[in-house]
C-alpha cells in the first residue's frame, strides 16, 4: 500500500508529537535532577524492526541513535515470539548496542492484531546504577562489572503485570531506590501514554496507512540526505584526535577517522583508532556510529526531523577491540567523551569536503564531575548525588563565533539551577560564569567556556571526574587557534590547592572543600588577523576577551576601539 503525500505529512507530525509528549511527561514526573532539571533522557518511536521513525525534537542524538541496535538485540535475545501486549522491556547492555550502564532503555512493544508494529522507547540516564561509587561514574573501572548492575534484556512487566523479582533485583543494586522507583515509573508511564495515542492514530487513519507512512518516512529522509551528500566532492579525507588518557593510564588514546565520499554514500572508517582502553574510556560500535551520524546529519539535513533514513547513506566501520568498538568486559563509563572525539575528528576530516558547513571543534567533553556522598538531615542520613556538567562551548563557524557556555554535540543535558542544587544537596556555589579568553582566536572565535565553583559542605562526600580536553586543546579550523584546555582544581589559591586529572576516580573530600571546574573553550575558525575590528572591540568591551589577548592574538590596537 502506498500513502499519499498529505496523509504522510499528517501521520509524521502526529508521531513526532507523541514522542515529544513522552519526554515532557517523563521530565515532569521524574525524581532525579538529571532528568527533571537537566533533561538527560530521550524518547522515540521505532517500527516493528527496531528502526527509528520519530524522535522527540528535544531528544539527544546519542541516546536515540544508539537505541536501534540495542532494541534489536533485546528482541533477538528475548525472542520476538515471546513478546506480548503489555510487556515493558528493559536493558542497559552496551555490548548489544547501548551507551553505558547508567543509560537504561525502556521499551514497550506495540501490537496490532498479533503483530508488533512499533516500539515506544525511553532511554534515561539513571543518576546511579550501583558500582564503584555513587553516581556510577568512575573512569578507572577496569571492567563493566565495576560500572554497576548489568541489566540484560528483561521484562520489567509481563502482559501488564510487574515482575517483582526483576524490579527488586535492580533496585537492590542501586544507591537510592526511591529515586530509582520514581524515575522508572515515569519512564514506563510515558510508554503507556504513547501506546494510547498510537491506538487513536490507527483508529483515525487505519493500520495499513500508518504502516505505509512509517516506511515512507524513512525512504524520504534517506533521499534527502543522499541528495545533500551528492553535492560534496568525492574524495578521501582523514583526521585524528586524541583523549587525555584511558581512565587508568595517562597515555593518549587516539580516534582515527577516514572518510570516503563516493556519490551519495559516505563511509567512515574508525579502524585505525587505538586499542580498547584498560579503564572506562571506551564506547560501543553503536555509540561511535551515533556520533558520526550526528556530525553528518547536522551538515546534510539540519532542518528536517531525523529518523533511520537520515543514516542509511552512512556506513561506519570499526575494528572490534578498539576503543570505539570495545568488547566484553570493557567498561564504557566514559563513552560520552569518546563520542565527542569521534564527532570532532569526523567534522575535521569532513571539513575538506564541506567547506563552509564545517565547524571548529567545541569544548569536546561531557565535563562530568560527580559529587556524591551522604548528608545529615533531620530525619537521618541521605545519599545525595549531583552530576555537574562542566563543559560547553561551540567552536567557531563560517559566519558566526562559537556560542559561549552552551552544550554542543550529540548530548544535550543542561545544568541544575544553583538554587535547586543548594536546596537538595550540601553544596554552596561561589561562581558560575563565562571565562574570558578561553575560546580560540579566529576570524570567528571559539566560544568561551565557563566555570562552576562550589563548596561541598558534607564531611562524607567524594568527587569523581570523567572528562577530557585537559591536555590536548580543541583544535581550530582553517587557521583558527585552539581553545583553552579544561581545568579542575580543589581549593584553588590556597595551600591545599590540588589540580585534578580529567579522569579522577572517587576521592574523599574534606568538608568545605572548594571545587572549581572549568571547561575548555571552542576552537577558532579562520585566520584571527581577518577578524572584524568592530567584533574585537565589542569582545573587549564585554569582557569576552581581555585587552591583552586582543593585542596578542588579533593585533588589536586600542586606538582602533570604537
* Residues from 337 through 396 that contact another protein (CB under 8 A): 357, 359, 378, 389, 392, 394
d(CA 316, CA 392): 26
Cβ proximity to another protein: between 180 and 245 the closer is 180
Selected binder of another protein within 85, 86, 182, 479 (CB under 8 A): 182
Q: Name the grid cell of 206.
A: 487505519
Characterize 13-41 residue by residue with b for buried, 16 or more Cβ atoms within 10 angstroms of its Cβ, and e for exposed: ebbbebbbbbbebbbebbbbbbbbbbbbb
Q: Give the phi and the psi of residue 512 in degrees, each rounded to 5.
A: 75, 15
x/- map, 525-544, another protein, by CB under 8 A: ----------------xxxx
- Could you tell me how many residues of this chain bind another protein (CB under 8 A)? 92
d(CA 517, CA 463): 11
Selected binder of another protein within 95, 126, 311, 408 (CB under 8 A): 408
Instruction: Give residue for cell 547492555.
Output: 93
d(CA 312, CA 400): 31
Q: Name the grid cell of 330.
A: 570493557
Q: Name the grid cell of 3.
A: 500513502
Cβ proximity to another protein: between 398 and 489 the closer is 398
Q: Does 137 bind another protein (CB under 8 A)?
A: no
Q: Does 562 bind another protein (CB under 8 A)?
A: no
Characterize 54-66 residue by residue with b for buried, 16 or more Cβ atoms within 10 angstroms of its Cβ, and e for exposed: bbbeebbbbbbbb
- Part of the chain binding another protein (CB under 8 A), chosen from 262-270, 278-286, 404-412, 472-480: 404-412
Rounded least distance, CB 328 to another protein, Å = 32
Q: How many CB atoms lie within 10 A of CB 551?
A: 14
Residues 265-304 that bind another protein (CB under 8 A): 294, 297-299, 301-304
Q: Residue 233, class by beta-carbon neighbours within 10 Å (0-12 exposed, 13-18 middle, 19+ buried)?
A: exposed
Q: Residue 455, class by beta-carbon neighbours within 10 Å (0-12 exposed, 13-18 middle, 19+ buried)?
A: middle
Q: Does 510 bind another protein (CB under 8 A)?
A: no
- Part of the chain binding another protein (CB under 8 A), chosen from 99-107, 425-433, 459-467, 526-534: 425-433
Residues 447-476 that bind another protein (CB under 8 A): 450, 453
- Part of the chain binding another protein (CB under 8 A), chosen from 4-12, 86-94, 117-125, 155-163: 4-12
Q: How far is CA 334 from CA 144, 189, 283, 410, 466, in A?
A: 12, 29, 7, 14, 6
Rounded least distance, CB 309 to another protein, Å = 9
Rounded least distance, CB 57 to another protein, Å = 4
What contacts 99, CB < 8 A, 6 or more positions away?
A: 62, 63, 66, 123, 283, 284, 286, 287, 332, 335, 336
Selected binder of another protein within 192, 265, 272, 459 (CB under 8 A): 192
Q: Does 423 bind another protein (CB under 8 A)?
A: yes
The verdict on whether omega for the bond into residue 552 sits within 30 degrees of 0, i.e. cis, is: no
Rounded least distance, CB 418 to another protein, Å = 6
Rounded least distance, CB 457 to another protein, Å = 10
Q: Does 108 bind another protein (CB under 8 A)?
A: no
Q: Does 125 bind another protein (CB under 8 A)?
A: no
The residues pairing with 532 across neighbouring beta strands, listed in sequence order, are none
- Part of the chain binding another protein (CB under 8 A), chosen from 274-282, 326-334, 406-414, 505-513: 406-414
x/- map, 26-65, another protein, by CB under 8 A: -xxxxxxx--xxxx-----------------xx-xx----
Q: Does 220 bind another protein (CB under 8 A)?
A: yes
Amino acid at each position: 500500500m502506498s500513502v499519499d503525500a498529505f496523509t504522510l505529512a499528517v501521520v509524521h507530525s502526529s508521531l513526532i508529537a507523541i514522542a515529544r509528549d513522552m519526554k515532557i511527561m517523563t521530565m515532569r514526573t521524574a525524581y532525579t535532577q538529571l532528568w527533571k532539571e537537566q533533561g538527560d533522557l530521550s524518547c522515540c518511536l521505532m517500527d516493528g524492526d527496531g528502526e527509528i521513525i520519530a524522535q522527540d525534537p528535544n531528544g539527544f542524538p546519542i541516546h536515540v541513535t544508539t537505541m536501534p541496535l540495542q532494541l534489536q538485540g533485546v528482541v533477538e535475545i528475548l525472542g520476538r515470539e515471546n513478546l506480548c501486549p503489555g510487556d515493558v522491556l528493559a536493558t542497559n547492555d552496551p555490548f548489544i548496542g547501548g551507551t553505558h550502564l547508567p543509560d537504561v532503555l525502556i521499551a514497550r512493544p506495540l501490537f496490532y492484531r498479533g503483530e508488533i508494529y512499533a516500539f515506544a522507547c525511553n532511554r534515561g540516564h539513571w543518576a546511579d546504577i550501583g558500582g564503584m561509587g555513587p553516581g556510577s561514574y568512575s573512569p578507572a573501572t577496569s571492567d563493566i562489572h565495576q560500572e554497576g548492575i548489568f541489566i540484560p534484556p528483561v521484562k520489567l512487566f509481563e502482559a501488564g503485570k510487574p515482575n517483582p523479582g526483576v524490579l527488586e533485583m535492580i533496585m537492590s543494586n542501586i544507591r537510592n531506590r526511591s529515586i530509582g522507583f520514581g524515575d522508572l515509573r515515569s519512564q514506563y508511564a510515558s510508554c503507556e501514554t504513547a501506546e494510547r495515542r498510537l491506538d487513536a492514530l490507527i483508529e483515525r487513519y487505519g493500520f495499513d496507512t500508518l504502516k505505509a507512512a512509517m516506511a515512507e518516512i524513512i525512504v524520504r529522509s534517506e533521499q534527502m540526505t543522499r541528495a545533500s551528500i551528492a553535492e560534496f566532492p568525492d574524495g578521501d579525507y582523514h583526521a585524528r584526535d586524541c583523549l587525555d588518557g584511558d581512565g587508568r593510564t595517562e597515555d593518549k588514546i587516539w580516534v582515527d577517522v577516514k572518510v570516503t565520499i563516493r556519490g551519495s554514500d559516505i563511509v567512515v572508517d574508525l579502524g585505525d583508532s587505538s586499542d580498547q582502553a584498560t579503564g572506562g574510556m571506551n564506547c560501543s560500535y553503536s555509540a561511535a556510529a551515533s556520533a558520526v551520524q550526528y556530525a553528518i546529519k547536522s551538515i546534510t539535513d539540519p532542518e528536517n526531523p531525523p529518523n533511520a533514513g537520515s543514516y542509511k547513506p552512512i556506513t561506519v566501520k570499526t575494528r572490534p577491540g578498539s576503543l570505539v568498538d570495545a568488547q566484553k568486559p570493557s567498561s564504557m563509563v566514559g563513552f560520552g567523551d569518546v563520542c565527542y572525539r569521534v564527532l570532532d575528528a569526523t567534522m575535521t576530516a569532513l571539513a575538506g569536503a564541506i567547506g563552509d558547513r564545517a565547524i571548529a571543534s567545541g569544548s569536546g567533553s561531557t565535563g562530568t564531575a560527580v559529587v556524591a556522598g551522604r548528608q545529615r538531615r533531620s530525619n537521618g542520613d541521605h545519599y545525595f548525588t549531583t552530576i555537574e556538567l562542566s563543559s560547553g562551548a561551540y567552536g567557531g563557524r563560517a559566519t558566526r563565533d562559537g556560542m559561549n557556555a552552551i552544550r554542543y554535540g550529540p548530548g544535550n543535558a543542561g545544568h541544575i539551577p544553583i538554587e535547586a542544587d543548594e536546596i537538595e544537596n550540601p553544596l554552596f556555589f561561589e561562581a558560575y560564569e563565562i571565562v574570558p579568553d578561553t575560546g580560540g582566536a579566529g576570524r570567528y572565535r571559539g566560544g568561551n567556556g565557563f566555570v562552576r565553583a562550589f563548596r561541598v559542605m558534607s564531611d562524607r562526600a567524594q568527587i569523581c571526574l570523567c572528562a577530557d580536553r585537559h591536555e590536548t586543546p580543541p583544535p581550530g579550523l582553517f587557521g583558527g587557534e585552539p581553545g583553552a584546555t579544561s581545568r579542575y582544581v580543589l581549593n584553588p589559591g590556597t595551600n591545599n590547592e590540588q589540580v585534578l586529572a580529567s579522569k579522577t576516580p572517587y576521592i574523599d573530600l574534606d568538608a568545605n572543600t572548594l571545587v572549581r571546574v572549568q571547561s575548555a573553550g571552542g576552537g577558532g575558525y579562520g585566520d584571527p588577523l581577518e577578524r572584524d575590528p568592530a567584533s574585537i572591540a565589542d569582545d573587549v568591551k564585554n569582557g569576552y576577551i581581555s585587552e591583552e589577548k586582543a593585542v596578542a592574538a588579533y593585533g588589536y590596537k586600542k586606538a582602533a576601539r570604537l
